[in-house]
Amino acid sequence: GAGVSQTPSNKVTEKGKYVELRCDPISGHTALYWYRQSLGQGPEFLIYFQGTGAADDSGLPNDRFFAVRPEGSVSTLKIQRTERGDSAVYLCASSLYEGSNEQFFGPGTRLTVL
């Protein structure tokens, strides 16, 4: 079946611009997660949703980062006033239920801020 998909696969933007990254989870998965991965590092937790609500957003680095999941399926990660330090691969994952250790990851969006 279809896995987690993320669009775009690559995004190049200029410092100060606004970007949106999209995640389509596996159908029927109630929990959705966003991570950020820098080169040579493990994924860093940002936020997770159970249904439509953000259950834990403690990993968002600052108020320039925001994520939504209005209908409990597709999610969008929004970054305002991008900075060069935001450059990373942004990974989305979903799981069948909250608390599951088996999270299914998408291929990621590589964000480059010039």
Partner 1 sequence: GESVGLHLPTLSVQEGDNSIINCAYSNSASDYFIWYKQESGKGPQFIIDIRSNMDKRQGQRVTVLLNKTVKHLSLQIAATQPGDSAVYFCAENIDSSASKIIFGSGTRLSIRP
Q: Which of 55, 61, 83, 112 binds partner 1 (CB under 8 A)?
A: 55
Should residue 90 be labelled a site residue for partner 1 when binding is judged by CB under 8 A? no
Judged by CB under 8 A, the chain residues 7 through 26 that form the site for partner 1 are: none
> Is 4:92 a contact under the CB 8 Å cutoff?
yes
Residues 62, 98: Cα–Cα separation, whole Å: 24
Number of residues that bind partner 1 (CB under 8 A): 30
Yes or no: say if 4 and 94 are a contact pair by the CB < 8 Å rule. yes
13-21, 64-72, 80-88, 102-110 -> range binding partner 1 (CB under 8 A): 102-110
Interface residue with partner 1 among 45, 66, 74, 76 (CB under 8 A) is: 45
- Give the closest residue to 52 by CA, choosing from 72, 66, 25: 72
Rounded Cα–Cα distance for residues 39 and 9 (Å): 16
**Identity of the residue, 91 or 113, whose beta carbon is nearer to partner 1 in the bound complex:** 91
In whole angstroms, what is the distance from residue 11 CA to residue 99 CA?
A: 31
The answer to whether the beta carbons of residues 39 and 19 sit under 8 Å apart is no
Residue from 7, 10, 100, 112 in contact with partner 1 (CB under 8 A) = 100
Give the binding site for partner 1 (CB under 8 A).
4, 31, 33, 35, 40-45, 48, 50, 55-56, 58-59, 91, 93, 95, 98-108
